[in-house]
Amino acid sequence: MACDYSRWSPEPRDFKAMLKKLSHEQILQVLSEGLCSYCEEVIESRVNNLNLIQRRVDEMALSNVNVAESSAVFLRGNSSDDVISPKRKLNADADSDAYTPSPRAGDSTNSGRSKQFVSASSTPVNNKQPVSDLSNFKIKLNDGPSRSVVGDGLVEDQKEFIRFSQVGRQKDFVHYENVNEKQINVLKGLELHTNVFNPDEQKEMVELVYSLQRMGQKRQLRARTYSEPRKWMRGKGRVTIQFGCCYNYAVDKNGNPPGIVRDEAVDPLPPLFKKMIKRMVRWHVLPTSCVPDSCIVNIYDEGDCIPPHIDHHDFVRPFCTVSFLAECKILFGTTLKIINPGEFCGPFSLPLPLGSVLIFNGNGADVAKHCVPSVPAKRISITFRKMDVSKLPYRYTPDPELVGIERLVPPPSSDSSRNRHHGKNDKLPKSENKVFSNEDDFPPLGKSTSSSRRSRR
């Protein structure tokens, strides 16, 4: 019997009308049926983007507000309600509702998709930002921005450059110690880049980490990918999840020494982590010559720590650490003393703001040891590293997504464009090195560094 294909023809059916009758949950359930957790996240992200685009199109038709005028008001950053256009308010409301958490790992697609992604015991990320806050622009974590105009009247590359120009960069850390009878700056090579990931992006990354943790607990990841040791004393027992390569902290049960285990496989880098790498390379945080191909996620409970150490030379320099959930301090020095379990003493202490990236290179990576004392609250860090070519796992193949990443090049007319929007004396900060004189000089999370400078004048 021949199959009647006519019933699948789109002609007799109004699919747009049919989709309108389906709920958001039903659409996601149908599209993600039978897919892995990573593919589910991609499908959900795309459906959310479609919802957001449609919402903005509807709002633009209702408000009938000139896009260019709305964009100019938005860029001026005036937070007074009496000067915010109706369209701008609608877009702000749409942005605040646009984020939908990813599904729990292991949830059945037939029984409905859970939307509570961060567990109740998890510390929430504060992502409440003023509507006029330029640093909270939603930029796609991808190879490069598109030229499409979004609801606030700015094309993606304009938004990305505004965010890129607000990254704070400190590269002049100085602490001299006597090494081999010579006084040298043991911190040379350290760099701190702040405001690289905004609160919304941090929340997305934290939720993915919690999802991966649940997968590890359910043994849905490879054996050496996930490690959750028993907390047998204070400071011991942080959870680690590693991707790209299997790394030994100590001699394992098979006699493998510390370093990369070349004949052991772990899970590949998740898509979101690769997008983070692309962001850091594009925004001049990491060099194009040292694109990471592996990472280790550290999940700290209150009181957990990392003892003094120098990272293994199976990984080339530079490497970097991204900080989430709770600010903590990292200590540096050629000699770091252990006072009590989880308590250390060192000559140089550096606070790590949320969403910041700390670059380890030069003396800061190879001469000075570093450690993280017992953290005051739940914290997550992701350390991205590139493997030495002589230490690559035997079955390793380069990820094509991480090849040929190009750095962001500011448009030639960027200065004149910013002058039009901000006035001659209100330029956005450039991406050049910024020297912070003290802890208060770090740009607050989600705040414009230009506005913080004006407040100190």
Pick the more confident residue, 241 or 110: 241
pLDDT of res. 6? 43
CB 47 within 8 A of CB 57: no
371/331 Cα distance (integer angstroms): 5
Place of tokens 């685009």: 53
Question: Which pair of structure tokens corresponds to residue 396?
Answer: 């390793």
What pLDDT, in 10s, does the model give residues 269-282?
Answer: 999 999 999 999 99
What is the residue-wise DSSP string for 286-326? S-TTS---EEEEEEEPTT--EEEE---TTEEEEEEEEEESS
First to last CA, the chain: 83
Q: What local confidence, expressed as pLDDT, does residue 158 receive?
A: 80
- Tell me how far apart the alpha carbons of residues 348 and 345 are, in angstroms, rounded to a whole number: 9
* More reliable by pLDDT, 68 or 272: 272
* Dist. CA 304–CA 342, nearest whole Å: 7
Tell me: the pLDDT tens digits for 226-270?
A: 998 877 566 677 999 999 999 998 887 888 888 999 999 999 999
**Are 38 and 270 a contacting pair, CB within 8 Å?**
yes
Q: How confident is the model at residue 15 (pLDDT cuts 50, 70, 90)?
A: low
* Residue-wise pLDDT tens digits, 289-347: 999 999 999 999 999 999 999 999 999 999 999 999 999 999 999 999 999 988 999 99
- Asked if the model's pLDDT at residue 431 lies above 90, the reply is no
What's the 3-state SS for 18-56? HHHHCCHHHHHHHHCCCCCHHHHHHHHHHHHHHHHHHHH
pLDDT of residue 77: 37
Reported as type and span, the H/E element at residue 15 is: helix 15-21
Mean pLDDT computed over 361-365: 97
pLDDT of residue 202: 96
- Residue 40: per-residue pLDDT: 73
How would residue 414 be classed by pLDDT, with cut points 50, 70 and 90?
Answer: very low
Q: What is the per-residue DSSP string for 190-254? A: -EEEESSS-HHHHHHHHHHHHHHHHHHHTT-S-TTTEE-----STT---EEEEESSEEESS--TT
The single-letter code of the amino acid at 403 is V
Measure the CA–CA gap between 302 and 84, rounded to whole angstroms: 42
Report pLDDT digits (tens) over 30-62: 787 777 766 777 777 777 767 666 665 555 554
Residue 384, helix vs strand vs coil: strand
Max avg pLDDT among 101-110, 225-234, 308-317, 447-456: 308-317
Q: What's the rounded Cα separation, in Å, for the pair 252 and 257? A: 7
The encoded tokens of residue 347 equal 């000559």
Strands 191-194 and 182-185, bridge-based pairing:
unpaired
d(CA 395, CA 263): 8
Instruction: Output the pLDDT for position 350.
Output: 97
Mean predicted lDDT score pLDDT of the chain: 73
- In our burial notation (b when 16+ CB lie closer than 10 A, e otherwise), range 109-142 reads beeebeeebbeeebeebebebebbbbbbbbbebe
For 285, other C-beta atoms within 10 Å of its C-beta total 20
pLDDT-derived band at 402, boundaries 50, 70, 90:
very high
- Provide the pLDDT for residue 47: 73
CA 50 to chain centre: 23
- Residues 418-422: contacts with CB under 8 Å, at least 24 apart: 421/72, 421/75, 421/76, 422/75, 422/76
Coil, helix or strand at residue 267: coil
Assessment of whether the complete model's pTM goes beyond 0.85: no
